[in-house]
A and B are shown apart, each in its own frame.
Chain A
Amino acid sequence: MIIDILIQLLSGVSRGMVLFVVASGLTLIFGVLRIPNFCHGSLYMLAAFVTYSITTAFGSSNAGFLASLIVAPLVVALFGAAIEFFLLRPIAGREHLYQLMVTFAITLIVADGIKLIWGGSYRSVGYPPMLDGSLSVLGRPFPEYYVLVIVAGIVIAALLALMIERTRFGRVLSAAVIDPEMVGALGINVPRLYTMVFALGALLAGFGGALAAPIGSVSLGIDNSIIIESFAVVIIGGSGSIVGAFAAALIIGIVQALGIMVAPRLAIAFIFLALCAVLLLRPQGLLGRRV
Chain B
Amino acid sequence: MAGKSVTVFALVVLVLAAMPYATSESNLFVLMDVLIAILFATAYNLVLGQTGLLSFGHAAYFGLGAYTVALLQGHLGLPMLVGIAFGPFVAGFFAMLVALLTVRLSGMYFAMLTLAFAQLIYTIIAEWYSFTGGDNGLPVTVPDYFFVTTHYFYLTLGIVAASVFLLWLIVNSPFGVALLAIRENPQRASFVGLNVKLYQVAAFTISGAFSGLAGALSGSLHQMAFPSMLYWTESAQPVLMALAGGIHTFFGPAVGAAIFTILNFYVASYSGYPLLIFGIVVLLLVMFLPEGVVGTLRHWVSRSRKNGPEAVKETAPADAGAGRGTRA
- Residues of A at the B interface (CB closer than 8 Å) are 30, 34-36, 87, 90-91, 94-98, 100-102, 104-109, 111-113, 115-116, 224, 228, 231-232, 234-235, 239, 265-266, 268-269, 272, 275-276, 279-280, 283, 291
Does residue B274 face the partner (Cβ distance < 8 Å to A)?
A: yes
Asked if B113 CB lies within 8 Å of chain A CBs, one says yes
A35, A101, A224, A283: the one contacting B105 at CB < 8 Å is: A283
Size band of the B side of the interface?
35 or more
Chain B residues, CB < 8 A from A96 = 107-108, 326-328
Q: Which B residues lie within 8 Å of A228 (CB)?
A: 115-116, 119, 232
Closest B residue, CB atoms, query A227 = B232
List the interface of chain B (C-beta within 8 A of A).
48, 54, 101, 104-109, 111-113, 115-117, 119-120, 123-124, 127, 129, 231-233, 236, 239-240, 243, 273-276, 278-280, 282-283, 286-287, 290, 322-328
Q: Which residues of B contact A109 (CB under 8 A)?
A: 275-276, 279-280, 283
Tell me which of A91, A97, A113, A232 contacts B54 (CB under 8 A): A97
The CA-CA distance from A100 to B123 in the complex, in Å, is: 24
Check B107–A272 contact: CB distance below 8 A. no
> Given A96-B108, A224-B233, A283-B104, are A272 and B279 neighbors across the interface (CB < 8 Å)?
no
Find chain B residues with CB under 8 A from A235 CB: 109, 112-113, 116
Given contacts A36-B108, A98-B290, A272-B123, whether A105 and B280 have CB atoms under 8 Å apart is yes
Q: How far is the CA of A90 from the CA of B54 in the complex (A)?
A: 22
Whether B109 pairs with A291 at a CB distance below 8 angstroms is yes
Q: In the assembled complex, which residues on chain B have CB atoms less than 8 Å from the CB atom of A272?
A: 116-117, 119-120, 123
Closest residue of B by beta carbon distance from A266: B127
A87 to B328, CA, bound (A): 20
Cross-interface CB contact of A265 among B101, B115, B127, cutoff 8 Å = B127
Which of the residues A34, A90, A108 comes within 8 Å of B279, measured between beta carbons?
A108
Q: Are B279 and A112 in contact (CB under 8 A)?
A: yes
Indicate whether A113 sits within 8 Å of B127 (C-beta atoms), given known contacts A91-B286, A279-B101.
Answer: no
Report yes or no: B282 in contact with A108, Cβ–Cβ below 8 A. Answer: yes
Closest A residue to B247 using CB positions: A97
Q: Which residues of B sit under 8 angstroms from A224, Cβ to Cβ? A: 231-233
| Nearest CB in chain B: distance from A109 CB, A | 4
Residues of A within 8 A of B106 (CB): 291
15 extra interface residue pairs, beta carbon distance < 8 Å, beyond A90-B287, A228-B232, A272-B120: A30-B108, A87-B283, A94-B323, A96-B107, A97-B326, A101-B236, A105-B280, A105-B286, A108-B275, A109-B280, A111-B275, A232-B116, A269-B127, A276-B101, A283-B104
Neighbouring B residues of A106 by C-beta, 8 Å: 279, 283
